[in-house]
Amino acid sequence: METVNQSISRRKFIKLSSLTGAALSLGFYTSAEGEDIQIIKPETAENLGIELNAWISIDSSGKVTLTNHRAEMGQGSFQSVPQIIAEELEVDMEKVSIVFAQGNPGKYGSQVTGGSSTIRGSYKKLLHLGASAREMLIEAAANQWKVNKADCYAENGFVINKSSGKKLGYGELVAEASKLTPPKNVPLKNPKEYKIIRKPLPRQDTPAKVNGKAIFGLDKKLPGMMYAVVERSPRFIGKVKSFDDSTTKKIPGVKHVFKTSREVFDHQFEGVAVVANNLWAAIQGRKVLKVEWDDSGFEHYNTEQLYSKMKDQLLKGELISYKTMGNFSAAYEKAEKKLEALYETPYESHSCMEPLNCIAHVKEDSCEIWGPIQGPDWIQGDIAKALNLAPEKITVNMTFLGGGFGRKAFTDYPYEAVMISKEIKAPVQVVWTREDDTTLGPFRPGMVYQCKGGVTKGSIAAFETRMAGQNMGTQNPGADKMAYNDNVVEGFLEPYFNSIPHYSFGDTPLESPMPVMWWRSVYSSTNGFAFESFIDEMALAADKDPLDFRRQHLHNPRYQDLISKLEEVSGWKSRGKNSGYGVAITECFSSIVGEVVKVSKNAEGKLKINKVWVVMDCGWYVNPDIIAAQVEGSIVMALGAATKHATHFAEGKAVERNFDTYKMPRITDTPEVEVHVMDNEEKAGGVGEPGLPPFTPALTNAIFDLTGKRIRVLPFNLEEV
């Protein structure tokens, strides 16, 4: 599969597809009434005024080109999306290339690569797209041979006559196939018939990333492009009071120094841009820039104050109720055993390996953007509003992303690049240093959870969770600050709501100037630690095996099957006495993941993570190797957040600035991970994020099993346990 990085318009796509002769091009759309998807040709769509999703084109050489509307940030969509198409199309993956689409929500709907949504949101449509193209090619061959269509079949890029054995390549058939009307209601393969899907095919973007041919945001260059770095307020919403650029302007190559800003939720975050004809000059100019900040009008919190405030709010009972059943208070009072625990999780930086960057070129009546962008449609809408231009005048081009984790779905860094380009009237690449990326946020919000539970006759009789922390959803302009946080139950297993007779979930929102936003698996990354740690504590109170206790409360065959598989692969029932075993099961983006962690102590008495067993039920899936890779990456990220790093604040500023203090897990820290994928007929769930939430509670539950020490505050130092 050739990895093509350029963006492409619909007209240009059709034109390019015809360079080698006729082409069969198809796309799909869904009616406003929400009817089944319709597969049609681009020329038909154009006549009807319809914007098509996911164009597929086969040219006269047999090459298949697919326009992918989502970003590739390491999660594997660049392999998985064409793998879906190739299965029903019956074509060799080597003959499939993929190009990034430009931002256009009217055409593609949501293009935000987040919420583990790329495959689960599109797989059925992509299957139908490939199947429709295949059937048109078969029909074209049958017409040419003057035989019944049922006497022909497709295989490996050819249509074959069952009787004569004759075959025609797809490239020989596209001219005639392109004249046909796409069929409706094409039957799809039974998963048992798959030849490509569910096979561990190697990712074909890997060679380009290894040999340097893949274009990431920092690799993109434009003629006449300038470079900029920005000195931003270290206290987030501080204002520029004054600046002295006299020394900065003496740096060779520095061309402009001026005040700028980026929009972060309901605030304009100010800074001073240093623009030069090379990045080194811009960075050196920034180092000698002198800025005086106005930091008045908001609290300069430190970490201890933030957590003290969260705990005070929980103790005062200032709760916004979200989800309740029965009468928790009454059931709790009557319970045979009562438990209460407080859990804390830290603020975290995203720390993508590729720091933020963006290129913008603002002209009088248009704007074009290039960069590592998770949400091109959001960027298009945001910039159109900022420049007072029609959305179609804003072109957003995606490159490969060196990690995203939610941070690169945000609109602030392209906005900043656009404002700088507008000021200098030239294309500019704005680059964030590692220190910028680590200290300026937005961050994953720190959280405090108060959990209370009652156990009667070995079962959960009452369960309550109160969450204190910043609500990501109430930062936007005009948001209701007292609205409940509907993510307070994120990560909690759905069957618990049926088996627990009395429960209560709510939150008490923290107001803080620290900007917060999504982080891999969003609220599940913190909720899961509290939920699954407390479930373990309740199992102990009930004098039940932790895995059996979960099985007892999860009255659903899908969850029961996952537990049985997890028990089998981990050897749960035969675990030894000299090791600690912990389990956790969470639900995230329509996938259920169970993990068992084994820990022990070495000869020096230091704690060691021996192994992690993972069972993922993501329903319908594409590539087990990509799933395993995403689970492994999720576990490493969770390990870092649990035991290595956190963002702290002092006098309103982030303390950790680079990887010397915001430490990352090393290879030697990483345990063996064994991943198993469940086979069933469920709808596709997410893969990129759901593997993260269960790891930390499984780890801390294992540590308790080995040492008797219950860990409720993150991060903690493994060497000090």
Average pLDDT over residues 172-180: 95
591: three-class secondary structure by DSSP: strand
**Residue 2 within any structural domain of the chain:** no
Give the sheet arrangement for strand 24-29, strand by strand: 38-40, 24-29, 53-58, 64-68, 96-100
Residues 250 and 201 in one domain: no
The token pair at 332 is: 């709790």
Q: Based on the domain organization, do 554 and 485 belong to the same domain?
A: yes
Q: What is the pLDDT of residue 8?
A: 46
Bond prior to 442 in cis (omega within 30° of 0): yes
Q: How many CA atoms does the CB half-sphere of 687 hold within 13 Å?
A: 29
Closest CA to 547 of 571, 577, 578, 521: 571
The verdict on residue 3 lying in a domain is no
- Domain end (from 148, 182, 211): 211
**CA–CA separation, 529 vs 523, rounded Å?**
10
530 domain residue, yes or no: yes
- Across 123-148, average pLDDT: 95
Q: pLDDT at residue 516 above 80?
A: yes
Whether residue 577 is contained in a domain is answered as: yes
Three-state secondary structure call for residue 79: helix
105 — pLDDT class (breaks 50, 70, 90):
confident
- Nearest-angstrom CA–CA distance, 359 and 397: 10
For residues 525-550, average pLDDT: 98
548 contact partners, CB below 8 Å, separation of at least 6: none
Domain boundary among 431, 466, 485: 431
DSSP state of 411: S
Of 167, 185, 211, which marks where a domain is finished?
Answer: 211
Residues 460 and 414 in one domain: no
Contact (Cβ atoms closer than 8 angstroms) between residue 81 and residue 124: no
pLDDT tens by residue, 664-689: 999 999 999 999 999 998 999 999 99
Cross-strand pairs, 654: 649
Cα separation, 434 vs 476, whole angstroms = 27
Structural domain contains residue 167: yes
**Residues 689, 565 share a domain:** yes
Beta partners for residue 448, in sequence order: 344, 468
Domain with residue 698: its CATH number is: 3.30.365.10
Q: How far apart are CA 135 and CA 142, in angstroms?
A: 10
Residues 6+ apart with CB under 8 A from 521: 491, 528, 588, 589, 634, 689, 690, 692, 693
Distances (CA, A) of 440 to 465, 513, 644: 31, 12, 20
Same domain, 238 and 373: yes
Indicate whether 713 pLDDT > 90.
yes
Q: Is residue 305 part of a domain?
A: no
Mind listing the pLDDT tens digit for each residue in 241-272? Answer: 999 999 999 999 999 999 999 989 888 899 99
CA distance linking residue 38 with residue 108, whole number of Å: 14
DSSP line for 482-539: T---TTTTTTS-TTHHHH-SSEEEEEEEPP-SS-B---TTTTHHHHHHHHHHHHHHHH
Task: Indicate if 463 and 518 belong to the same structural domain.
Answer: yes
Q: What is the mean pLDDT of residues 119-126?
A: 88
Can you tell me the mean pLDDT for 302-311? Answer: 98
Same-domain check for residues 407 and 455: no
Residue range 404-440, pLDDT digits in tens: 999 999 999 999 999 999 999 999 999 999 999 999 9
Domain, as residue range, for 99: 10-211
The beta strand positions in 167-305, using DSSP E, are 167-169, 226-232, 239-244, 254-264, 267-276, 290-294
Residue 16 — very low, low, confident or very high, per pLDDT cuts 50/70/90?
A: very low
pLDDT at 53 over 80: no
Q: Residue 194 corresponds to which amino acid?
A: Y
Helices (H), ranges, 335-369: none
Q: What angle do CA 272, 276, 280 make, to 5 degrees?
A: 100
Closest CA to 102 of 11, 163, 190, 30: 11
> Does 228 lie in the same domain as 207?
no
Whether residue 379 is found in the same domain as residue 481:
no
Tell me whether residue 514 is in a domain: yes
What does residue 371 show for φ and ψ, rounded to 5 degrees? 165, 180
- 306 lies in some domain: no
> For 462-486, how does the pLDDT look when each residue is reduced to its tens digit (9 = 90+)?
999 999 999 998 888 888 888 889 9
Domain check: are 192 and 292 in the same one?
no
Instruction: State residue 2's pLDDT score.
Output: 43
What is the mean predicted confidence (pLDDT) over 542-557?
A: 98
Q: What is the pLDDT of residue 22?
A: 67
Rounded-to-integer distance, Cα 580 and Cα 578, Å: 7
Q: Is there a single domain that holds both residue 256 and residue 194?
A: no
Which of 54-68, 82-96, 518-532 comes out lowest in average pLDDT? 54-68
- The span from the CA of 422 to the CA of 54, in Å, is 33
Instruction: Report the b/e string of 106-124 with b at 16+ CB within 10 A.
Output: ebbbebbbbbbbbbbebbb
Looking at the fold, whether 367 and 490 belong to one and the same domain comes out as: no
Q: Which residue has the tokens 């199992």?
A: 539
Return phi, psi of residue 600, to 5°: -155, 180
For the chain, how many structural domains are there in total?
3
How far from chain centre, in Å, is Cα 317? 34
Q: Are 291 and 243 in contact (CB under 8 A)?
A: yes
| CA–CA separation, 332 and 125 (whole Å) | 48
CA distance 581 to 461: 26
In the predicted structure, residue 505 carries a pLDDT above the cut 50: yes
Residue-wise pLDDT for 62-94, tens only, equals: 888 887 778 899 898 888 988 999 999 999 888
> Is the distance from CB of 485 to CB of 544 less than 8 angstroms?
no
In this structure, what token pair is assigned to residue 258? 């001026």
Segment 193-209, tens digit of pLDDT:
999 999 999 988 899 99
